[in-house]
Structure formats: C-alpha cells, structure tokens
Chain A
Amino acid sequence: MTTATLPTRRDEAWRYADMDGVARLGAAALDQWQEITLAPCETRRHAMTVGSEAPELHRIRLNLGEGARAELFVVNRGADYTRVEVEVRLAKGAHFEFGGVTIGGAGVTREFVTQVVHAEPEATSNQTVRAVHWAGATGNFLGEIKVARHAQRADAAQDFKGLLLEAGASANAVPQLEIFADDVKCAHGATVGALDEAARFYMMARGLDPATAQRLLVQAFIGDAFVALEDEAEREGLLEAALAALEGARL
C-alpha cells in the first residue's frame, strides 16, 4: 500500500506540522513504519536521540502482549522538521511508558504524536513530554488515548510542560481522549511558561553565570521526562544530548 497524497493540516494529527518539511520528506517516507511486537510479559526499553540537518520522520508501531511492558525515551532535537509518531496497542495488563523531550531553536518544528489504545482491561500507560524552545521554534505533543468499551480499570496519564526561553517560540499540546469503558483513570495536564526569573537571579547571586543557571534550570525541567528511565547511564546520555542542543542557543 502506498500513500498517494501527503497529509494536510486539516488532518488532526498533522495540525501543527511543518508542511514544508513534510513535503521535503516526500510521500514515500510516510509508509515506513517500524513494527514491534512484544510477547506476553516481555519487557523492552529503548532510548534514542533523533534529529539531523534534514527533516526526519520516525513511525513506530508497538503491539504489546498481555502483561508486557514497553519503555520508550526520546530526545527530539533536529535542526530541521522532526516528527516522532508512536502507535501503541496494549493487551490486558500491559504498560507503555513514554518520556519525550523536544528541544531547540532555529524556527524548527519538533513534535511527538502518540496514539495509545487500551484495547483490553487493566492496561496502563504513562507519557511525560517536555518542550524547551527558543528562536521562533515550535514543540508539539499530540497525544491520543483510546480506551475500548471492555478495557475496564485502564489507567492512563499524560503530562506535558513547555518552557519557552524567548518570545516567539511556541508549544502546542493536544490531548485527545476517547473513553468507552466506565471504570477508567485518565489524567492529563498541560502547562506552558517561561524560565523562572526569580530562580535564575537566585542562582546568579550565588555565583553561577547566566548560561550555567539556565542550563541547570532546563536540566531540572526536562529531567521529569526521564525519571522513569532506570538505567542511570542511559538517562545521563539523554540529558546530555538534550542539553547539548541548548549550547548552541544564543539567549
């Protein structure tokens, strides 16, 4: 099957996409899905940093068997349009953990688009996304959660926070919940704000230069996204990859 045409902004999942970047990706790129199936009770974890000088699209489809657990942690720091899409289907008692950071400037759009289907009872999911942007850049998190009619006792959480280091940058959060079961916990929260100037002054008054104070505050801010990543080396690696993007910022 091939996709004959490119999506448009009228498609909900492409609402905040960089359509120029999508055009440069080309229609063929849209058909490339990475399909991963987890056997019952299997656990898999993956940490990755995406983004380059060219537009990138990463489409991942996860199918989790009963009691399986998938953990995905991503730093999205492309210098061009970079989109990570994850579709997840959870069987009974399965868990999906997602931690994502979009970080960068240069007027670029970076986004996460997730669709988590709680197809059977007692599945759980937790998604934490942090967006740090400047210089006219945009960070998006479009998160869809679907709970099937018989998928009772589902527990799904989605948390998004945006930190805009300059006026002109933007962050969009689009939580979308479709719940057909009646015994379900679904939580979602989204906030967007600027750097805490009181904290920055406090740090400078103790001797930290403005760039170091900012780096510490950004590190603390994005740290939430990787709290669930138990491997310390991997966690440090992702934090460093994200903070490296901040080094180039002239703020």
Chain B
Amino acid sequence: MLEITNLHASVGDKPILKGLTLEVPAGEVHAIMGPNGAGKSTLTNVLGGKPGYEVTEGSVTFRGEDLLALEPHERAAKGLFLGFQYPVEIPGVSNVQFLREALNAQRKARGEEPLSGGEFLKLAKDKAALLRMDMEMLKRQVNVGFSGGEKKRAEMVQMGILDPAFAVLDETDSGLDIDALRIVGAGINAIMRSPDKAVLLITHYQRLLDVVKPDKVSILAGGRIVETGGPELALRLEAEGYDAVMA
C-alpha cells in the first residue's frame, strides 16, 4: 500500500532522511521506533506534505500513485491520515464544523455525495463513543482548552470519522495516562485493523504496542531503517536499549 524507496529529505539545508526504504502492505501495522533525532517526525511530515520539508531524492508510492506529487489535502482524499504528535488548536472553529467540512471535501474529491448534518452527527457520535469522548467536546473549538490526552483522543475521533485507508500516527501515545492509552490503542485497533488498511505507528515505547500489536517493527536511526523484525524487536529494544540492539 505504501512503498518508500531511498527517501532523502532535508529541513532547510539539513539532511534528515538519508536513504529510507520501507514497504507497508495492506493489512499491516508497522511500528517505527528510534532514538531522538532519528528522523521519525520528519518522515511523518514528509508523508503528509508539510511545507518546509524538501525531498531531495527517492520516491513514495501510495496505492500505486506518486504521493509526493500530491498536495496535502489531495493525500488526505486518497486515504492518508496523519495523527499529529502535537495537534493544533484552531480558535473559533468547532470540531463539528471542521470535521464535517473536511469529510465532505474528501468525499467530493472522491466523487461521493456529501453527508447531511444529521448523518454526520450520527457518525461523529459513534466515533466519539468509541474513544469515550463526550459529544459536547466535539461541539467545542478544535483542540482549544483540551488537555494533552484529550487532544490525542480527539485525533483518533477524527481518524474514525474520516475513515482513512492508511494512518501515520506520530507518537500518538505521548501524553497519555494508562487508561487513556488503552482507550486510544483500542480505538486504533477498531478503526484501522482491517485487511484493506494499514498503519505506520511511530512510537518511543513498547507500552502502546502491548495494545496495538504490530506485525512488524523497524528501527529508524540516522535517517534510515537500520533493522526490521517482528514484535519481538520492540521487546528487545525496551529491555536492552537502542545502542545494544543496533550494535
């Protein structure tokens, strides 16, 4: 579903990704772990098309198309979802208005009929319940006044509503307490565990992987994938640390 080949990317003049190659087929949850500064967030931002990240070499193919040739909103309409490490606050815009416009923009781009207000609210209510989020919170302004944990849960509600084929989740577990981690993990499983979907799960810690069990684990270091294995690789990292495992 997603094929990244020899990807090089810079921020300003600084090369961060240096020949990253990775393939994530449909049906797979692929965890990416790596030390600080390895390029994990840069990978997320390059996949999402954030301005300021320049691809200097290599390719990314998503569902058979050149992902890098698409604008960020076109990537979303093709089924790519970015779970932000730091979800952005948008004062003056309610979650309901934002998500309904976003969903209907995606549907329009795919040639589908827009959802009515009633249909949308029902969908939003279902997904909020899945993440045990009060519907009242969705009527409030996007992420404004939300705690760190609430922002991450709201991200997953957004993912549930938008129903993407592929999710890149950047440290979705950071800022979550133990209970919230279980709720978010269960949400990821419910929304994304499917033979025709896939997830790139970027994390520092094993604890999310106890709930969202990955099919594969890769280590990103120095801007490249240096090792790929099964779930046991994450356990080894947790026990021994990056230095020992990569030595």
Contact = CB atoms under 8 A, between A and B. Distances in A.
B98 A206 contact: yes
B109 A224 contact: no
Given A208-B102, A212-B105, A216-B98, A201 B90 contact: no
Contacts of A206: 76, 98-99, 102, 158, 162
B73 A208 contact: yes
Grouping DSSP codes into helix (H, G, I), strand (E, B) and loop, the A interface class, with mixed when no group exceeds half, is helix
Contacts of A219: 92-93
A201 B93 CA distance: 15
Interface residues of A, number: 23
A199 B102 CA distance: 13
A202 B90 contact: yes
A208 B101 contact: yes
B103 interface: yes
A220 B88 contact: no
A220 B90 CA distance: 8
Grouping DSSP codes into helix (H, G, I), strand (E, B) and loop, the B interface class, with mixed when no group exceeds half, is helix
Contacts of A201: 48, 50-51, 72, 88
Which size class do B's interface residues fall under?
A: 20 to 34
B84 interface: yes
Contacts of B90: 196, 199, 202-203, 216-217, 220
Nearest to B109: A207
Given A197-B51, A208-B73, A216 B88 contact: no
A95 B97 CA distance: 33
Contacts of A217: 90, 93
Contact of B162 (A197, A203, A207): A207
A209 B49 CA distance: 13
A238 to B, nearest CB: 15
Q: Which of B75, B103, B105, B162 has the most CB of A within 10 A?
A: B105
Interface of A: 196-199, 201-210, 212-213, 216-217, 219-221, 223-224
Interface of B: 48-51, 71-73, 75-77, 82, 84, 87-93, 97-99, 101-103, 105-106, 109, 158, 162
